[in-house]
């Protein structure tokens, strides 16, 4: 397979920028990843995106794996590696530098203000992600019910969410949600 | 914290990553605080809140911080490689399998159920993150939660511009309150 340089470049630029905007982790930038890869670059459909997100959620590890899968869908394995590296490197370098600075100057009031100020914006972005995913995934009332029940279980109980994902996949196998 | 070699750091974070189905943080706390005692509980909370106010996944940032304090940039590199390497290989494998067999009816049926549950998982995460903020300071938090949601979720405005407007405003308000 030949390397698709323009796509790799687009992935590198897009995910390095998102890396520095991902306050609160990858969940905060899902709507932007979705907008770029579905609406702007047409690397995949809305349904593909929902499927890839579901696969990323059911794998172990940190939650930025959706960027790995978007890179893979856009440009194969090289795309997956470029997207992953781009999503990690800028924020890692920034954190490395910040930790050094933090250990030198403890207890600066600006840090508390930045942390407290960014928090509610981040929450709004995670709600946006939920909204984008619900619109992509819930094409019938039955699927909407699965989303609602999962949300309630995860919100109100300490059950490992993986059980909900497994149960929903098994229910899907029986065909109650139809076949796309 | 106690000195640790890059190799040990790599292995500890590799183990954390592989246990972390549906959320790595609880496993990270158990390994770093309870089992290895690299961080005291207070260190852990403080480092985590620093990592949360920086962009990027909290847990990746935490691995950078723990690695850096143990043995500089080599420690950070070892920690991130341990945390990220195996999950990336696993998820690419799953992606390739999906590419091969994703067309099968059974797989598609399972995936649509899985996707609906994953959407619910993110909804619950958002609600859990919102709860303490709304309890403690609804007046200063709610407008920004709602603003971020409407601008990015509903109107699909580009994220950089939305952040450039909302974040400085929210930070300025918190700064004034603390001063």
Residue A27: which domain range? 5-105
Please report, for chain B, the start and end positions of each structural domain, with discontinuous segments joined by +: 1-101
- Which residue out of A99, A102, A108, A158 would a mutagenesis test of the B interface target, given it has the greatest number of B Cβ atoms within 10 Å? A99
pLDDT at res. A2:
63
pLDDT at res. B54:
87
Are A92 and B80 inside 8 Å of each other by CB?
A: yes
Asked if the structure places residue A15 within a domain, the reply is yes
Read off the pLDDT of residues B113-164 as tens digits, 9 standing for 90 and up.
999 998 998 899 889 889 989 999 999 999 999 999 999 999 989 888 998 9
Asked if the structure places residue A169 within a domain, the reply is no
Asked if the structure places residue A63 within a domain, the reply is yes
Read off the pLDDT of residues A151-170 as tens digits, 9 standing for 90 and up.
999 899 988 788 999 999 99
pLDDT at res. B177:
87
Q: Please give the Cα distance from A53 to A69 (Å, whole number).
A: 8
Q: Please give the Cα distance from B54 to A130 (Å, whole number).
A: 22
User: B167 to chain A: which residues are within 8 Å by CB?
Assistant: 23, 117-118, 121
Are A29 and B159 inside 8 Å of each other by CB?
A: yes
User: B68 to chain A: which residues are within 8 Å by CB?
Assistant: 96, 99-100
Q: At A106, is the pLDDT very low, low, confident or very high (cuts 50, 70, 90)?
A: low
Q: Please give the Cα distance from A15 to B23 (Å, whole number).
A: 22
- Which residue out of B24, B63, B118, B128 would a mutagenesis test of the A interface target, given it has the greatest number of A Cβ atoms within 10 Å? B118
> How far apart are the two ends of chain A, measured CA to CA in Å?
30
Which residue does chain A place closest to B68, by CA atoms? A96
Are A123 and B98 inside 8 Å of each other by CB?
A: no
Which residue does chain A place closest to B161, by CA atoms? A21
Are B69 and A165 inside 8 Å of each other by CB?
A: no
Read off the pLDDT of residues B44-98 as tens digits, 9 standing for 90 and up.
877 887 887 789 888 899 999 999 999 999 999 999 999 999 999 999 999 999 8
pLDDT at res. A180:
65
Total domains in chain A come to 1
- Considering only the beta carbons, identify the residue of A21, A39, A138 that sits closest to B119: A138
User: A35 to chain B: which residues are within 8 Å by CB?
Assistant: 156, 158
The token duo for A16 is 């390095």
Strand, coil or helix: A177: coil
Read off the pLDDT of residues A80-95 as tens digits, 9 standing for 90 and up.
999 999 999 999 999 9
A146 within 8 A of A174, measured Cβ to Cβ: no
Q: Give how far Cα A120 sits from Cα of A4, B4, B15, B134, B146, Å.
A: 39, 37, 32, 9, 9
- Considering only the beta carbons, identify the residue of B84, B113, B126 that sits closest to A130: B126
Asked if the structure places residue A143 within a domain, the reply is no
Q: Please give the Cα distance from B9 to B7 (Å, whole number).
A: 5
Backbone angles phi, psi at B55, to 5 degrees: -70, 165
Q: Is the pLDDT of residue B2 over 60?
A: no
Return the DSSP state at A59: S
Q: Give how far Cα A3 sits from Cα of A25, A36, A67, A85, B90, Å.
A: 29, 20, 18, 17, 22
Q: Please give the Cα distance from B127 to A63 (Å, whole number).
A: 17
Residue A121 C-alpha, separation from nearest chain B C-alpha, in angstroms: 5
Which residue does chain A place closest to B155, by CA atoms? A128
User: B130 to chain A: which residues are within 8 Å by CB?
Assistant: 123, 127
Task: Indicate the burial class of B21 (C-beta count within 10 angstroms; 0-12, 13-18, 19 or more).
Answer: middle
């Amino acid at each position: 397979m030949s390397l698709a340089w323009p796509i790799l470049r687009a992935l590198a630029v897009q995910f390095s920028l998102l890396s520095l905007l991902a306050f609160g982790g990858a969940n905060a930038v899902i709507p932007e990843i979705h907008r770029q890869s579905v609406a702007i670059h047409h690397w995949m459909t809305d349904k593909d995106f929902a499927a890839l997100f579901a696969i990323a959620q059911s794998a172990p590890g940190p939650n930025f794996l959706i960027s790995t899968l978007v890179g893979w869908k856009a440009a194969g394995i090289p795309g997956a590696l470029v997207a992953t590296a781009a999503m990690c490197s800028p924020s890692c370098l920034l954190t490395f530098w910040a930790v050094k600075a933090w250990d030198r100057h403890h207890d600066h009031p600006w840090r508390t203000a930045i942390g407290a100020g960014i928090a509610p914006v981040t929450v709004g972005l995670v709600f946006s992600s939920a909204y984008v995913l619900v619109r992509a995934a819930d094409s019938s009332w039955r699927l909407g019910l699965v989303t609602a029940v999962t949300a309630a279980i995860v919100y109100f109980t300490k059950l490992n969410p993986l059980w909900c994902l497994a149960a929903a996949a098994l229910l899907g196998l029986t065909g109650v949600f139809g076949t796309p | 914290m106690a000195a640790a070699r890059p190799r040990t750091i790599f292995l500890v974070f590799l183990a954390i990553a592989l246990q972390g189905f549906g959320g790595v943080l609880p496993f990270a706390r158990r390994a770093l605080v309870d089992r290895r005692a690299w961080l005291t509980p207070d260190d852990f909370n403080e480092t985590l809140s620093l990592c949360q106010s920086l962009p990027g996944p909290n847990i990746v940032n935490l691995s950078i911080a723990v690695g850096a304090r143990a043995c500089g940039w080599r420690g950070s590199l070892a920690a991130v490689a341990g945390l990220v390497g195996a999950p990336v290989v696993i998820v690419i494998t799953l992606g390739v399998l999906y590419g091969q067999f994703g067309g099968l009816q059974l797989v598609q049926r399972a995936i649509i159920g899985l996707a609906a549950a994953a959407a619910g998982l993110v909804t619950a995460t958002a609600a859990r993150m919102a709860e303490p903020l709304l309890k403690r300071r609804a007046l200063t938090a709610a407008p920004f939660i709602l603003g971020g949601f409407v601008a990015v979720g509903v109107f699909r405005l580009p994220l950089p511009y939305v952040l450039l407007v909302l974040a400085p405003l929210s930070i300025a308000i918190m700064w004034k309150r603390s001063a």
